[in-house]
Structure 1
Amino acid sequence: MIQRLIETKKAAPLFQGWHDTLLRSCMQGIMGEIYVDDRNEPCSAFALLGDFCLLAGEPSSALLRFQYDLGRWETRFLVPKGELWEQAIRETFGSRAKEFTRYALTKEASFDRAHLSSLVDSLPPAFRLVEIDEILYHFLLSASWCRDLVGQFPTYERFRDLGLGFAILKDTEVVAGASSCCRYHNGIEVEVDTKTPYRRKGLALACSAKLILACMERDLFPSWDAHTEPSLHLAEKLGYTLDYPYQTFELTKTT
């Protein structure tokens, strides 16, 4: 019987060698959930946080179907640990699961403070960079294009205590942001979004640089996994280096 695992350390052997920070959040009990086929001696497991589902252990179609029915969602990203899981995803979901490549950046980047500060200072005068406060939190949560900046924190108090982020304004309009999509003990996972008409203006670069500097002041590591090649190139401009590409499946739920 598939159940949520409270003693997450029991699933640690299944995820051995996996350094994803979303997994750390789940394993540390800070955010997200772990589900297993057996609470005492699990053979198959998945970690679920937001739109991401990380699959490990023995491939299980039952586990895949269980996560499909779990919660209200429209799109979920399945990250398999190994080719056998990839095959199980294809067999279970067929064309509903579309394959693409994400990019893991190294978790020990060496950031240049002066370079990052210069990127923040390069923000054009028409724009203003501010820290996400309670008013901005509620706005970001209400707008589809930027909801992921704060969406994994169910209340502002939760974001204030665990999260960290910045937004860029043009007059009173929010046009870009860089924030924590999740938190683990000594770091965050970075989420960056820019409103479509304002892309390619250096806003994401300036906002991300500000977030990294704030993390450095707090002794937090700003982990970055790139969803696309442009996101990868943005990260490299900030001081990250590619660790490895990995296979991901975008799963769409049918009604």
Structure 2
Amino acid sequence: MIFEADIHVRQKLIPMFEKIDSTIILSCLQGHMGTAWVDDLENPTVAQITVGIFVFFAGNADTKAAEELLCNLPDFTLAIVDSVEWKNRIETVHVGSIEKFQRYRFEKNSEHLNRKHIQSLISTLPEGYEVKRIDKTIAKDSSFHELSEDFVSQFDSIDDFINRGIGYAIINNGHVVSAATSFSIYDGGIEIEVASHPDYRRKGLATIVASILILDCLDKGKYPNWDGANEESVKLAQKIGYKLQESYDTYFINNEK
């Protein structure tokens, strides 16, 4: 049997998840967003953290509760763990429904983010394009949501995103063609989400809008964390100034199968 963990129980999970270097985990453990599940509210030995499609597991993988947690998933999941035991358990429980691929983690060091360099990237905005901070009007625009379902989806509502999140959009001919937002938030900063419309790629728009978001975070004393989903994301991060730390295994689990 598993139980949902409140903020007090989440505090007990900090040592369990300390080996997984993710700000998304912090956003849940610190009580900003997401859910946590455990096998025991008093003395948890296995736990799950879910923020959107990202799901993290830690603790003793060789238990019945671990298997129950591994089935406590959204329809589409990106699962991340820190041990061979958990990887083997995922591959056993979800055999036939998983794809393993690499994501990319960057060093969390604000000294790598040179403001003068980042400012120079912003100055290349093409004529006919406009940058706007995301407000309610933009957040409700269909062209904004078509770029990524994850721009604001981790927040309770659009109002919640406006109050606690941050983001910028590039507008062309009345449509949002590129945007960068806080996918999630934690005490020390945000996790960045960036996307551009397929017809507007290779114009430097993602670089510009991400750079504006990053500078805003740095001005506020918040760290804009970057975690790459693919090699294109890695190249963009490195162009801005992030230093690649490592690649790591991620499991895409199609729970509809």
Q: TM-score, normalised by structure 1?
A: 0.94
Q: Which residue type is aligned with residue 98 of structure 1?
A: E
1:2 counterpart residue number = 2
The answer to whether the 8 Å contact 1:187/1:221 transfers is yes
The answer to whether the 8 Å contact 1:2/1:63 transfers is no
Change (3 A) 1:234 1:140: farther
Change (3 A) 1:114 1:140: farther
Unaligned runs of 5+ in 2: none
The answer to whether the 8 Å contact 1:168/1:203 transfers is yes
1:96 counterpart residue number = 97
The answer to whether the 8 Å contact 1:129/1:169 transfers is yes
Partner Cα distance (1:52, 1:187) in 2: 18
The answer to whether the 8 Å contact 1:141/1:151 transfers is no
Partner Cα distance (2:228, 2:162) in 1: 25
Q: Which residue type is aligned with residue 147 of structure 2?
A: W
2:39 counterpart residue number = 37
Q: TM-score, normalised by structure 2?
A: 0.93
User: For residues 162-181 of structure 1, what are the structure 2 equivalents within 5 Å?
Assistant: 162-181=164-183
Residue 213 of structure 1, CA deviation: 0.6
User: For residues 174-253 of structure 1, what are the structure 2 equivalents within 5 Å?
Assistant: 174-253=176-255
In angstroms, what is the RMSD of aligned CA positions?
A: 1.7
Mean Cα displacement is larger for which, 156-165 or 137-146?
137-146
Partner Cα distance (1:61, 1:82) in 2: 18
Residue 224 of structure 1, CA deviation: 0.7
User: For residues 52-67 of structure 1, what are the structure 2 equivalents within 5 Å?
Assistant: 52-59=54-61, 60=63, 62-66=65-69
Q: Which residue type is aligned with residue 254 of structure 1?
A: E
User: For residues 35-184 of structure 1, what are the structure 2 equivalents within 5 Å?
Assistant: 35-59=37-61, 60=63, 62-66=65-69, 68-70=71-73, 73-110=74-111, 111-139=113-141, 143-184=145-186
Residue 74 of structure 1, CA deviation: 3.2
The answer to whether the 8 Å contact 1:175/1:198 transfers is yes
The answer to whether the 8 Å contact 1:180/1:189 transfers is yes
Residue 31 of structure 1, CA deviation: 0.8
Residue 56 of structure 1, CA deviation: 0.8
Q: Which residue type is aligned with residue 63 of structure 1?
A: A
Residue 67 of structure 1, CA deviation: 5.0
Partner Cα distance (1:37, 1:142) in 2: 39
Mean Cα displacement is larger for which, 145-154 or 202-211?
145-154
Partner Cα distance (1:19, 1:133) in 2: 31
1:20 counterpart residue number = 22
The answer to whether the 8 Å contact 2:143/2:175 transfers is no
The answer to whether the 8 Å contact 1:109/1:241 transfers is no
Q: Provide runs of 4+ in structure 1 moved above 4 Å.
A: none
Change (3 A) 1:140 1:192: farther
Partner Cα distance (1:41, 1:240) in 2: 39
Residue 97 of structure 1, CA deviation: 1.1
The answer to whether the 8 Å contact 2:50/2:56 transfers is yes
Partner Cα distance (2:185, 2:136) in 1: 18
Deviation track 1:116-170 (CA, whole Å, cap 9, x = no partner) reads: 1111110111211111000111126973432211111122221122100001111
Partner Cα distance (1:225, 1:245) in 2: 10
Identity of aligned residues (%): 32
Change (3 A) 1:67 1:133: farther
Partner Cα distance (1:2, 1:141) in 2: 39
